Structure 1
Amino acid sequence: MIFPRILLIAVSLLCVGLSEEPESPQSHSSVNTTKHLSYGDEILFSSKILSREIPINIYLPQTFHQASEQHRYPVIFINGSHGKEFFHALTGIVKHLSGVERMPESIVISLNDGGDEPETYLHGMWKHTTEEKFSAQGNPETYSEFLTEELFPYLKENYRALDNRMIIGISTSSTFPLYTLTNKPGLFQSYFFLSAADIFGMGPTSESTFIDEIAKSMQTSPNKISAFYFAMADSDMRKDKRYKKILSQINTKLSPYAKENFRLKIEILNNENHYGAFIKAALSAIELNYPHEEWSANYRELISQPGDALQNIDHFYQSHSQKYGFPILPRATRWRNVNQLSYISNLLLKDGRIQEAISIARRWVEYQPNSIDAHLSLAQALQQNNEILEASDALKKALEISHSQDKSKTAAINRQLAELKLN
């Protein structure tokens, strides 16, 4: 991992949410070893703009370290203390759905300090306090500058992050996302709010609510946002009759902008409570951004169509990329699924479509240059096409990688090389 010269980054390879290593259960005779699992990193980002360290959790796609530089990723931000609390749940959802290609592989970031918050007028939304407003916490304008000038470039340089970003605001952690939506709508392209009807009824001035400000933002920048999702648990809706009116106002203000390039969904989640609704809401928000029917590529169907197999697959993903505005690549490998280049290469080889199998295997190597299996697959296809020298080179590359990555495969690759030379 490369770190920017101008930034001081302290990286702690810790399982997020666990401050201490659990003790190994050595008392049971069946347990010989205990291995600590890590699902994310926590970094302290030293910001010159803010003159302080910003704690951030980061999750990377499972294939990140094996994938080539061509692979770039959308980023999902989840905000504040709520973000830190739900980080593990969110990364689990993203890992699973991207693994079955229901959404693109994505980076997940928790902004643990929640961003600086603007002065906010309560408009009587909180019955348990007589306060008229909350004072500003820091400077949201400066915090936005930190994101655009420091954090986003850092993620792009070090983690191949795309300029395609979603932000999630839950309950009171919605204030900073609302600030960006109403003042800097292009900062994030997709917004996801949960359990925040009371916050939406508040506002930046004594005369206007956040709903009013969102409407103004949509009027002046109608094409800056690609998706807006808002959900409330049914148990919350029963607590305050005003929430129904707030949801209606949000729908009335935003519905005129709902079209192909702006997806909108406002819903009440039944049989749920304030925080328990998170998983249902996350699944629904992801479906809004990445509809199932658009993310169900059937590779076997694509290669059965007239024309070259790889060209057919590329055409599908090029159309996909154009629609979503960022590069989307075919999956080289996936867990227990035929919709991957590794499976298709072997299938084409069995069907006697050797040249097409070679093309697919070469693309697999291009996408995962440090994959032993990719080079072995290419060697097999080349050998069947009687390209012995090229097959030998592919095996030698697999052998080279095996020394540092998986020595258990070294002997088998050496045997393959010897048999190739004998033949």
Structure 2
Amino acid sequence: MKHYIYLLVLIGSILMVNQPAIAQTTESQTEQFQNRIVDSIFSKTLGESRDFWVRLPDNFQPDNDEKYAVIYLMDGFSLESTLEAVYGNYWGHYLPHMILVGVSNRKNRTRDLTTSQIKMRRGSAFDYETGGAETFTKFMEEELIPYIDSKYPTIAYRTLIGHSHAGQFTINMLVNHAHLFENYIAIDPTLDWDNQKLLKQAKEKFKMEDYNGKSLFVSLAAEMLHIQNESITIDNVMSDTSEFSLPARSIIEFSQLAKSQNQLNFSRKVYHEDLHGTVPLPTIRDGLIFLFQWYQFKSPQKFNNPETPIEELVSLLKEQEQIYTEHFGVPTAPMVDEMLNGYGYMNMQMGQPEKAFMFFEMNIKQNPNSANAYDSMAEYYESQNDKENALKYLNKAFELSGKDYYKERIEALNKK
């Protein structure tokens, strides 16, 4: 890990736009997400078993006290690689370490994700079982979420992501069950369903309900707004009255409604060159960045400038810690551990030992069970020719991990 962070710092600013360097310096995406568990529970509500996967954060340690926000991804096995690609590239500056949960909707998808029963759709008979969204919501609220919370170190800060019918499900969750999630990403949702029934319901709910503290990102795939008329564009689609443009018109109308709901933190984006099937990737990327805009680090240039006084850095870190703690509802470090470590090494390289010590010390305080944090502090003391303290921290790293690497480092240092 030490060399991974060291390379990260050499690339340039660890808090600038070049965030992929953090995620992929020495590890492939697959290796990053090695903490993947496939599980299932039998649902009394559904009367069947339901599969899901869980991806633990890259810094997860079983004996650590750190707790994490959670992302729930509907159609989890279909969109797993999409979420993985986005999260693997943007955690750190843009996104916190989080637990990811992918829920299977491979069986009875239309039943589980649609909000009402229908027999006809777009002028044709519709033979699928429908209208089970409330039942599936009950499964998530009473069975799946409690199971995840009991088994993994979570906090009650949840994000829900859904595409198409799952986007309809996501909007329904916000409109009718907003207590379960803080954040929502609805990807090209089917809001035309059942003669816009959910849209009409939202018009009434938005007048009465309190959505303060809730955030929603909605996308519209606009490459083909009308399957039979290519002259229909985003500029004139609202003047069309055919059923073929109703999906797009429903999303636009809902977005206008959501934008007028002052308590709701809302954003919509039209993807002009994307189809319904291609829009999940850019939506998840843009949606997560929007939802966690408050998380993005403030004044990165000051952290990268050797002229910034240490007192100012400490003040900025305290401010960042306060922002994170207020949003998550639990004490939260001002930086992920990889960045605390990275800034420590960067300042060592720049000949600023006092700042380096501050970052390493903060990393140990925030991550007292991290062998890597103690190893980094040992390197700091080695750079200061303080063999006694270097050995002290190396011994602590070895005590925590039992790894031969630290034992060999101790032996080598003793020979000097």
Q: TM-score, normalised by structure 2?
A: 0.73
Would you say 1:61 and 2:57 are equivalent positions? yes
Q: Secondary structure at the match of 2:191?
A: helix
Would you say 1:246 and 2:250 are equivalent positions? yes
Counterpart of 1:414 in structure 2 is: 411
Aligned residue type for 1:219: K
Would you say 1:140 and 2:134 are equivalent positions? yes
Cα pair distance change 1:237/1:121, threshold 3 Å? farther
Q: Secondary structure at the match of 1:307?
A: helix
Counterpart of 2:15 in structure 1 is: none
**Deviation of residue 398 (structure 1)?**
2.4
Counterpart of 2:265 in structure 1 is: 263
Would you say 1:284 and 2:286 are equivalent positions? yes
Counterpart of 2:183 in structure 1 is: 190
Shifted more, 56-65 versus 166-175: the winner is: 166-175
Cα pair distance change 1:232/1:346, threshold 3 Å? closer
In 2: Cα distance, 1:359 partner to 1:66 partner: 26
From 118, 125, 135, the equivalent of 1:130 is 125
Aligned residue type for 2:409: A
CA contact (8 A) 2:168 2:186 kept: no
Counterpart of 1:92 in structure 2 is: 85
In 1: Cα distance, 2:220 partner to 2:269 partner: 7
Q: Secondary structure at the match of 2:225?
A: helix
Cα pair distance change 1:151/1:327, threshold 3 Å? farther
Cα pair distance change 1:414/1:216, threshold 3 Å? farther
In 1: Cα distance, 2:309 partner to 2:323 partner: 16
From 226, 230, 245, the equivalent of 2:214 is 226
In 2: Cα distance, 1:119 partner to 1:103 partner: 31
Counterpart of 1:202 in structure 2 is: 193
**Deviation of residue 389 (structure 1)?**
5.4
In 2: Cα distance, 1:211 partner to 1:303 partner: 54
**Deviation of residue 112 (structure 1)?**
0.6
Counterpart of 2:377 in structure 1 is: 378
Cα pair distance change 1:362/1:241, threshold 3 Å? same
Counterpart of 1:167 in structure 2 is: 160
Counterpart of 1:108 in structure 2 is: 100
**Deviation of residue 276 (structure 1)?**
1.0
Q: Which has the higher contact order (CA 8 A, sep 6+)?
A: 2
In 2: Cα distance, 1:221 partner to 1:302 partner: 49
In 1: Cα distance, 2:34 partner to 2:356 partner: 37
Counterpart of 2:223 in structure 1 is: 235
In 2: Cα distance, 1:282 partner to 1:217 partner: 26
**Deviation of residue 220 (structure 1)?**
2.6
Counterpart of 1:20 in structure 2 is: none
In 2: Cα distance, 1:386 partner to 1:315 partner: 34
Would you say 1:151 and 2:139 are equivalent positions? no
**Deviation of residue 254 (structure 1)?**
1.5
Cα pair distance change 1:58/1:292, threshold 3 Å? same
Cα pair distance change 1:341/1:302, threshold 3 Å? farther
Counterpart of 1:176 in structure 2 is: 169
**Deviation of residue 235 (structure 1)?**
3.0
Counterpart of 1:398 in structure 2 is: 397
CA displacement 1:93-118 (0-9 Å, x = unmatched): 1121104x212222221111468456
**Deviation of residue 285 (structure 1)?**
0.9
In the alignment, structure 2 segments of 5+ residues that lack a partner are: 1-30, 228-243
CA contact (8 A) 2:114 2:130 kept: yes
**Deviation of residue 177 (structure 1)?**
2.8
Cα pair distance change 1:209/1:136, threshold 3 Å? closer
Aligned pairs (5 A) from 1:350-389: 357-382=356-381
Name the count of aligned residue pairs: 363
Cα pair distance change 1:236/1:78, threshold 3 Å? farther
**Deviation of residue 217 (structure 1)?**
2.6
In 1: Cα distance, 2:113 partner to 2:288 partner: 26
CA displacement 1:146-196 (0-9 Å, x = unmatched): 433443333334322221112122112334334422321221222212232
Cα pair distance change 1:347/1:393, threshold 3 Å? same
Cα pair distance change 1:98/1:60, threshold 3 Å? same
In 1: Cα distance, 2:226 partner to 2:284 partner: 22
Measured on the aligned residues, the alpha-carbon RMSD in Å equals 3.6
**Deviation of residue 246 (structure 1)?**
1.4
